[in-house]
């Protein structure tokens, strides 16, 4: 197989995995998540590492849609208040920095939203609305001992390193959610373009 064929083959495998995950996501969870966003005064998003990049992209799209959105940790992010919403992107749902912020936001009266692979996680226990996105990483942990052996023997070849599938699927999901919110709010693409940066 050529190098390009290998890359395109990996793309197809990832696309198939994402489609499979999409079919497993609960409509009820998505509806509840959407309603929470629509009812929030302001939306604060957070993620760690690559999930943080997905969170930033989602905050930008929410802004384009006309929502007031912020990225936690930025210098211009204001104090969170009651009736605001905090959304965490966390595959494990246990990342301490995000869990601590979620707990603080909850104590201040904000709604907590979580996009995760682990509903029974630290953040999941306090979240008001959750969308569960299964990932390859979870399947690995079920056979962690055998997985470690295969890794040491050089027998295991993952088509998506670390949390790639969760992060990529989260990105696709958040963009799809934005499209769904566009329909609900009857916002045109032209209106989004008006809010797109024009000073770069």
Strand order in the sheet with 43-47: 69-71, 43-47, 85-89, 111-116, 129-132
Its pTM stands at 0.83
What number of residues does the chain have?
Answer: 200
Which sequence positions are flagged as catalytic?
167
For the stretch 116-174, pLDDT in tens is 999 999 999 999 999 999 754 444 343 444 444 444 444 445 555 555 788 999 999 99
- Please, what's the b/e burial string for 57-71 (b: 16 or more CB within 10 A of its CB; e: otherwise)? bbbbbbbbbebebbb
CATH node for 3-195: 3.40.50.10490
CA 76 → CA 69, 73, 82, distances in Å? 11, 9, 19
For the stretch 159-192, pLDDT in tens is 555 557 889 999 999 999 999 998 998 878 877 7
Contact 81, 109 (CB under 8 A): yes
The Cα–Cα gap between 174 and 59 comes to: 10
Contact 19, 165 (CB under 8 A): no
């Amino acid at each position: 197989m050529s190098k390009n064929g290998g890359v395109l083959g990996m793309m197809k495998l990832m696309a198939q995995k994402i489609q499979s995950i999409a079919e497993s996501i609960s409509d009820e969870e998505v509806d509840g998540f959407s309603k929470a966003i629509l009812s929030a005064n302001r939306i604060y998003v957070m993620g760690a590492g690559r999930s943080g990049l997905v969170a930033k992209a989602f905050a930008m799209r929410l802004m384009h849609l006309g929502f007031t959105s912020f990225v936690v940790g930025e210098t211009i992010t204001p104090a969170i208040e009651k009736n605001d919403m905090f959304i965490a992107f966390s595959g494990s749902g246990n990342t301490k920095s995000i869990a601590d912020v979620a707990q603080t936001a909850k104590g201040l009266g904000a709604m907590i939203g979580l996009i995760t692979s682990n509903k029974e996680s630290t953040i999941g226990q306090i979240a008001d609305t959750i969308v569960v996105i299964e990932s390859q990483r979870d399947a690995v942990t079920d056979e962690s001992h055998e997985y470690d052996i295969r890794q040491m023997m050089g027998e295991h070849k993952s088509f998506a390193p670390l949390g790639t599938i969760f992060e990529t699927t989260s990105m696709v999901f958040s963009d799809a959610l934005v499209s769904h919110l566009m329909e609900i709010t009857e916002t045109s693409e032209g209106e989004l373009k008006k809010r797109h940066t024009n000073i770069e």
